[in-house]
Chain A
Amino acid sequence: MNSDLPSDIFSDVSVEPSTIEDFKQVKEEVIKTPNDITRWLKLFDNIDSFTNTSNSFTTDFKTFVTTSYNELLSRFPYLVAIWRRFAIVSYKIIGERESIEVLGRSVVNCPYSNDLWRDYITALEVSKDDDLDDYIRRGIKMIGRHFNSDWIWDKYLNIGDKWEKYQNVITIPLYEYSKYYTQYSELSRDMEIEKVVEETYLDTAVKKYGRSLDELSLIEKSQILEEFNYSIFQKTQALVTDQWQWESLIKVPYLDLSLMDTIKSERKIWIEYLNWAINKYQQTQLPRDQVISIFERCLIPNCFDEELWLKYLAFLNLEPDFEQMDLVYNRAINKFVPLDKNVLRFSYPHFLLVHEKHAMINDYIFDLMKYFSGGNHLHKPFKLQFLKCFQSLLQCWNQMYPDFIPYVRSVIDADLTEGGKLGEQVDVMYSNNLMKFVNEDSIQVIIEFYLHHTDDNNTLRSFFNTYYDSSVLKSCSGFWKFFVQLECKNLHFPNLDMIMTYIISHTTLPKIVVDSLVMEYYATATDNYSLFKKLGRNLMEIKLWTSTSVIQNPGLSSRYNLGPQWGKNYDNPGIMIDHKPEIIKRRDFKISEEYVLPSFRNVERAGAQVPYSKK
């Protein structure tokens, strides 16, 4: 697949490196953009061409190669092709043992890759490894339900007792299913019928003859056997035929960063495939492991796809097993799902909550909070995600700690007023931890949470009166929205009007928010016009608050703090022109009455230069 890539356009690595210093220089360029796979591939190409021409390698060089591959593979553990190259180059420069060790790590890091297992087992065979059989057994566990895993079944079936393995393999929908059926059928003919045919099946079949099993002739027995075998064959065949619809369409079942477009376009094939499998599972026609196998295979090329991970978790949650789901969560959170996709990350604390792992929740969220706040200086802060951490933490704590809402209020008081004290409902350690992260933005999340969890109107209104002119709240959409909606709901127009007037002239909310609040007010007013009328206001005045014109909308000019001078420099922005030629005392004109000329002002200024600033 590397041949698809252009190899001559990256000028910065165009000089063929030959010394370890050269290589290190190239590597420095590569790690500047660690996600750019083409640069990595170029580096590996350079390593390859160097190793092809040379025979002895310094320890330095060997370490360099190993760390380079490790760096990329720890970033993208599902890059099957890179693991294979790594194994080959290790073989060349270090030796067979090292190469096998690399393959061993590859199947640990990417345990559901059919290709890597095949390489690994083949290498172990060649080296005549003593534990080969054990590795084959392990391989069967991981990839035994892979559609193309017949190669490993061939080996596995030859280890020890065959019969049970055959009984297993013929129920698995494999591409080569008929081969195993044929072998199985032959084998079964030498077996006692009770060992082959399921008990209930056998009972019903025998009853049809009206005699006991012992009384049946050999031919009759073999007929039952054949029929039973055939019924298994038919089931497996139906599954294979179904699966083939999608298996035949998937062209890139591995992760290749240069083929992401194809992978993306094949995503919907995978989804159809998975939906089919989930359905079959729910109808008990497909075992859970078979569905897991398809999920795991799908997640190799689609490992960055948050939605598919969630789908996987949703599937596992049908029969929840904490350990198993926790492992999947950890893989997705720590290795694969990109940092700007966080649905899954924020579902994890709730997963822990369901399983009552309270300490884990706090550790997880505080870690995440620290990370998103930019606290470790490795990257820029992710503000929105940081705030979501707060939301998530508050939601969890609300379920973990009794009497939590008064505590939230105490956090707000402690932050916004002097001498406010923190409540004791939450462990001191966590409480202090929380306060470290409270800032102008996160306090808004806390306030919103408090408001939405308080029912009493009097408490809410007194909260409003305490804090409405706090500078933190000037830009807090949630706070204002909450009170507008509250007073709309209560149809308290005097309060509503006061709040709106304050919003219009004193807050710094985005216009789109102000507009939607105005429209909410407007809608409530039109629905309850008789109440609204008592205010002595006109409905159209309310609507005017949404006007974008600073001239027409009095609220805007006060929000933008525009003085009376504003209009004067309209035609030459930034320059005041005080004296323009003007007509004054203009009179009404009537055709039948004599027209008296008006007076003029500043006529001599008409030709004056525009007073541009000298700077």
Chain B
Amino acid sequence: MNNYIELLKDPYNLTKWVKILDIQVTKASSDEEVTNMRTIYDEFLGNFPYLVNYYIKYIDLEYQLQNISKCEEIYESGFRYLSYSIEFWMSYLKFKITTTAINFNSVKDLVTLFETARSFIGLHYFSGDFYKLYLEFLQTYETLGITGYDNLLKYVLEVPLYNYSYFHEKVDKKYVDSYITTQYKAYKLYEYEKKLTNYNDVKFISVQELKTWDKYLEFMELNYPHEFVIQLYERAVITTSQYPEIWNKYVSYLTSKGKYRQAEIVAKRGKQIERIVEFALIRDKHLVVEALKKSRESTKLPVQDNWNDYNETLSKYLHT
């Protein structure tokens, strides 16, 4: 109970939330306990919509309760923010594979889902695991008449991935050009990737890391086609969602490409997050304002005095 009171005093404090989120429910739990759990998670994710791990935790709890349709619902709401999150897609795809009854049509549908996933996260530097899963899936259901394994493998060879070499081991030597090119590109990207961390938190991130994102995005803009740039921006805003810099850069990028409509949408998304974050940071802001006021105190003189009205201006100093 104390935890709840603490939280009420400070509703945007992640540490206090985490204490409360440590909930276990089983099939034996009462309806009330389950409703409580849902209320807490819904409220929490409304405040922190980019924390993918907590979505997955929530889904896991529902999964234990075997509420498959509720799981779907949570995934759907999560995708509003996390459509470019590898973790979220991987979780979703595995969930779908385990909960779908297998026949030719349903597997076809799953392939479509994989393709949707690929359109979002297929160019992600760490999408190697995704392609592994995808390829395994295609291979497994070849017996059902599902094609595409060879096609996809050839395609993956050209995506600059962290574990690009894994896929090259599966093909013969005629792909050596592709290997070298992808290796070169993957190394280039690694220069940036190695400096980034995958956050699942709302703590401040370092200035260096923000700079790295900035440079990485510029590098992409200069060297890669539009879809690469978009996926990187989407990745960047997940991690840096509380910083306006990357949102602004994203909007400018879309504007500079003449994509005004998309730019507006991104701007709106950024604004929405900004509001949430503003609340979260409001106490810190308070401190900042106090500090500023203090430093101002020593330099209280008005910046520009209008001495044209000498008596009036001078009289301001009488009661300083």
Q: Which A residues fall within an 8 A CB radius of B?
A: 271, 275, 278, 306-307, 310-311, 313-315, 317-318, 341, 343, 346-347, 349-351, 353-354, 392, 395, 399, 538, 540-541, 543-544, 547-549, 551-554, 567, 570-571, 580-583, 586, 589, 591-595, 597-598, 600, 603, 606
Contacts and interface: CB of A to CB of B under 8 A. Distances in A.
B252 A553 contact: yes
B173 interface: no
Nearest to B318: A314
B300 A307 contact: yes
- B interface majority secondary structure: helix
Given A540-B263, A552-B252, A552-B256, A570 B222 contact: yes
B70 interface: no
Interface residues of B, number: 52
Interface string B46-83: 00000000000000000000000000000000000000
Contact of B178 (A549, A589, A597): A597
Contacts of B260: 538, 540
Contact of B191 (A343, A571, A580): A571
B180 interface: yes
A570 B191 contact: no
B184 to A, nearest CB: 4
Interface string B96-112: 00000000000000010
A567 to B, nearest CB: 4
A591 B310 contact: no
A544 B180 contact: no
Contacts of A278: 318-319
Contact of B314 (A313, A547, A553): A313
A313 B317 contact: yes
Interface stretch (B12-20, B25-33, B148-156, B276-284): B148-156
Contacts of B251: 540, 543
Given A306-B301, A567-B222, A581-B180, 12 more contacts: A278-B319, A313-B317, A317-B311, A317-B314, A343-B301, A347-B314, A350-B313, A354-B311, A540-B263, A552-B249, A594-B151, A603-B180
Given A347-B310, A540-B264, A317 B219 contact: no
Interface string B256-274: 1000100110000000000
28 contacts: A271-B320, A278-B318, A310-B317, A311-B317, A314-B317, A315-B318, A341-B301, A343-B305, A346-B305, A395-B307, A541-B255, A543-B251, A544-B255, A547-B252, A547-B256, A551-B256, A552-B255, A552-B256, A570-B219, A571-B219, A581-B184, A581-B185, A586-B158, A591-B114, A591-B148, A594-B151, A595-B155, A606-B180
B42 interface: no
B201 interface: no
B10 interface: no
B168 to A, nearest CB: 13
Interface in B171-204: 175, 177-178, 180-181, 183-185, 188, 191
Contact of B152 (A307, A540, A591): A591
A600 B314 contact: no
Nearest to A542: B255
A95 B111 CA distance: 109
A314 B314 contact: yes
Contacts of B111: 591
Nearest to B249: A549
B154 A595 contact: yes
B218 interface: yes
A349 B311 CA distance: 13
B253 interface: yes
Contacts of A583: 158, 181
Interface of B: 111, 114-115, 147-148, 151-152, 154-155, 158, 175, 177-178, 180-181, 183-185, 188, 191, 218-219, 221-223, 225, 248-249, 251-253, 255-256, 260, 263-264, 300-302, 305, 307-308, 310-311, 313-320
A307 B310 CA distance: 16
B147 A592 contact: yes
A392 B307 CA distance: 9
Given A347-B313, A549-B252, A597 B308 contact: no
Contacts of A570: 218-219, 222-223
A538 B154 CA distance: 42
Contact of B155 (A351, A544, A589): A589
A146 to B, nearest CB: 23
A606 B184 contact: yes
Contacts of A547: 248-249, 252, 255-256
A448 to B, nearest CB: 13
Contacts of A603: 177, 180-181
A495 B57 CA distance: 58
Contacts of A551: 218, 221-222, 256
Given A570-B222, A600-B178, A606-B183, A395 B311 contact: no
Contacts of B301: 306-307, 341, 343
Contact of B151 (A317, A399, A549, A591): A591
Contacts of B185: 581
Closest 4 CB pairs of A and B: A547-B252, A350-B307, A314-B318, A552-B256
Contacts of B255: 540-541, 543-544, 547, 552
A349 B151 CA distance: 84
Contacts of B180: 581, 603, 606
Contact of A347 (B148, B225, B307, B318): B307
A475 B302 CA distance: 26
Given A583-B158, A591-B115, A597-B154, A552 B253 contact: yes
Contacts of B114: 591
Contacts of B317: 307, 310-311, 313-314
A347 B316 CA distance: 13
Nearest to B148: A591
B166 to A, nearest CB: 18
A350 B184 contact: no
A303 to B, nearest CB: 17
Contacts of B222: 551, 567, 570
Contacts of B307: 346-347, 349-350, 392, 395
Contact of A553 (B147, B178, B181, B256): B256
A347 B308 CA distance: 9
Contacts of B263: 540
A206 B282 CA distance: 71
A592 B147 CA distance: 7
Contacts of B155: 589, 595
A354 B180 CA distance: 82
A586 B160 CA distance: 14
A176 to B, nearest CB: 31
Nearest to B146: A591
Given A553-B256, A592-B147, A593-B151, A351 B310 contact: yes
Nearest to A310: B317
Contacts of B264: 540
Contacts of A571: 188, 191, 219
Contacts of A600: 177-178, 181
